[in-house]
Structure formats: C-alpha cells, structure tokens
Amino acid sequence: MTRIPERYARQARFHGIGAEGQNELAMKRVLLVGLGALGAAVSDQLVRAGVSLILVDRDYVEMTNLQRQTLYAEQDALAETPKAIAAFERLKAINSDVDLNTHIADVSWDWLRPLPHVDMVLDATDNVDTRLLLNDFALERGIPFLFASCVGAYGMNYTVMPGQAPCLRCLMRHLPLAGQTCASAGVVAPIVQHVASRQAVETLKYLTGRHEKMERRLLIEDMWENQSQRLDVARLVDVSCKSCQQHEYPSLVPNRQQTALLCGRDVVQVRRPIEGLEPIANQLERADVSVKRTPFMLEWRWRNHRMLLFKDGRVLVHGVDDTHVAAAMVDECLGA
Ligand SMILES: [Zn+2]
C-alpha cells in the first residue's frame, strides 16, 4: 500500500475511510457537470479529499454568482472568466495532486459519448433536460448518478444506483423538478453547501467501496422552514421507464438542442459551427461592430443585446427569451 500524503492524514484517520479508502480515492475519477453554486461547493470538497475530476460548465462568472459560488472572486466576474477556467485555477491551487480536466462546453450526448471511464456522475446543473441526459448516460455506463438541486432554501438529493432503484426519469412524475429557478425564487448559500456536502459524502462512500453506507432514500430539506424528509422511493420504479427498465435511453440522442433558453435568465444559447474566434471578430469589425476579445470568447452588442461567442461555437444572446429571435440575430452577426 502506498504511503498516505500528509494532506489527507485526518481523512485517512477517519474509520470510515482509512488508508485503504484514501488509496481508493486516488485511483478514481468523477464527472461533475455544472460549476455554479453546487458545482463550486462539491468540487472544493472533493478536490481537497483527493478525488480527480472532469469538470464542465458552459457559462462565465457574473457578480450575481459571488454570493454563493465559493470558488470565484470579484476579479473573475469583472473579467467574465469562464467558470471552467476560474474553477480550474482555484482548484489546482488548492490541491495540485489531483488530476483535473476542465471543459468550457455545453454537455450533450455528442460531448459525453467519447469521454474516458469515469466512476460516477455528479449533477450540479440547473435544468431537467441535462439531468435526464446525465441520468441516461450514467445508466448506460452502469455507474451511479447523484442528482442534486437547490432553490430558495430548499434542496433535494437522490442517488441513482443502476439496476437497484428508480432512476431520475422514474421519479420525474413525482418530483417538483421544473418550475422555480434560482433567478426567479432566489437561493441562499447555506442550502447549497448542505446539498453539496451530501453529494460529496455519498461520493466518498461510493468511491471507497462503502456501498452499504450509501443513502438510498430521496432527501428533501427546507432550511428556512426547518423541515426535512427522507423518502423511501424504492417502490416508485416505473416498469415502463425507457431509461432504467427498457434501456432505450431516450436522452442519448446526437446534436440535441441547437438553441436553448438558459435557466431563468433571459439568455438564449445558440449553437453554430465556427472556425475560430478571430475570423468572426474581424468580420464583425468590418461591419463597424466593436468587439471585446478575451482568451476564451468574444463579446459585442447587436441591436442593444449583449452577445458572447465561445470557441465551441455557442453564442449567448442576452435580454431575449425567444429562441427564434435569438437564432436570427446570431445568423445576422455570423453571416454579416
Ligand atoms: Zn427509470
């Protein structure tokens, strides 16, 4: 057995993990999708614990994030640094021992399919479509998927264990998953930390092989109203579920969602094939549009709307909630 690095001494001393568990952690890799409030909190805990991560996020840091997204600072918001980049720098500074792979991208089946082996998938997203995609991806690979969600002071945790219990698609009929968002109902930081801690501890249990210790119930917490529930959902398996029962995985379809309204933000994301940022910047400038360049994206205004273009061809159009209007504006800019 390899010697335990000093930085993990207290964790390896804990009876539930031990030196053996610590060595297990060093060999595992987790996919964490989303680096908002939840993703920031859970990645901080896991990286300190010695877990290697694949991180992915499609967004950049804004001032409204700083109240709860603990990996980021004012400078990141001022520079509009992509969350994947700001998180990577912070996490690498916290623990240079672990392997971190970061991606500025919108998760799709095309993006997920070529991924190397991961031991589990953690949900830190803000929308149902991506959660169902991750649910199906994890089931198809036969690995656990840790669903988590927070809004207001209310949070939920549930672990989908392949072949053992209902999956997220089974539970969709019973859970209040759509509706309020952090933008519409707000969110307080403590519930985020609470839900993230539950995700982190279940991750540690699974990765160290202590599967018998894992929480199989659906956990619901309202920290403001002082209410919590632990629901036994085992009997909620939907026998016609296309994900966990029929193994058809309806969310694993290529090139889904060319255009999408981002969660409660009046921002539409439009995808277009591009060949680098610089040709587009030059083209816009020839049309007298003033373009701001960062190492990761371009920013400009078009008919009073703020537009951001990432290297992977995603354009964020601010101040619209109509996907067709946004797509038309993007085509005007990129085809200009
Ligand atoms: Zn199911």
- The sign one gets for the Cα dihedral 250, 252, 258, 264 is positive
Give the mean model confidence (pLDDT) for residues 21-27.
Answer: 97
Residues 211 and 301 in one domain: no
CA-nearest of 229, 211, 226, 314 to 269 is: 314
Distance of CA 186 from the midpoint of ligand 1 (Å): 30
DSSP of 245-277:
TS---TT--TT--SEEE-TTSSEEEEE---S-H
| Model pLDDT for residues 113-127, shown as the tens digit of each residue | 999 999 999 999 988
pLDDT attached to residue 184: 74
Residues near ion ligand 1 (CB < 5 Å) are 167, 169-170, 241, 243-244
Return the CATH number at 330. Answer: 3.30.310
What's the CA-to-centroid distance between 173 and ligand 1, angstroms? 11
Q: How confident is the model at residue 86 (pLDDT cuts 50, 70, 90)?
A: very high
Do 13 and 128 share a domain, yes or no? yes
pLDDT score recorded for residue 44:
98
Q: How many CB atoms lie within 10 A of CB 333?
A: 23
Asked if 198 and 148 sit in the same domain, the reply is yes
Which pLDDT does position 223 carry in this prediction?
97
- How many other C-beta atoms lie within 10 A of the C-beta of residue 1? 7
Answer yes or no: do 219 and 288 share one domain: no
Q: By percentage, how much of the chain surpasses pLDDT 90?
A: 81
Same-domain status, 217 and 326: no
Q: State in Å: Cα 182 to ligand 1 middle.
A: 27
Residues 82 and 127 in one domain: yes
The alpha carbon of 239 and the centre of ligand 1 are apart by a number of angstroms equal to 8
- How far apart CA 250 and CA 247 sit, in angstroms, is 9
Residue 66 in 3-state DSSP? coil
pLDDT digits (tens, 9 = 90+) for 37-78: 999 999 999 999 999 999 999 999 999 999 999 999 999 999
Active-site residue, from 150, 170, 182, 333: 182
Residue 78: domain span = 6-236
Assess whether 167 carries a catalytic annotation. Answer: no
Cβ atoms 165, 233 nearer than 8 A: yes
Residue 257 has pLDDT above 70, yes or no: no
Q: CB neighbours (10 Å) of residue 209? A: 11
- 214 and 75 both lie in a single domain: yes
Answer whether residue 49 is part of any domain. Answer: yes
Asked if residue 207 is part of any domain, the answer here is: yes
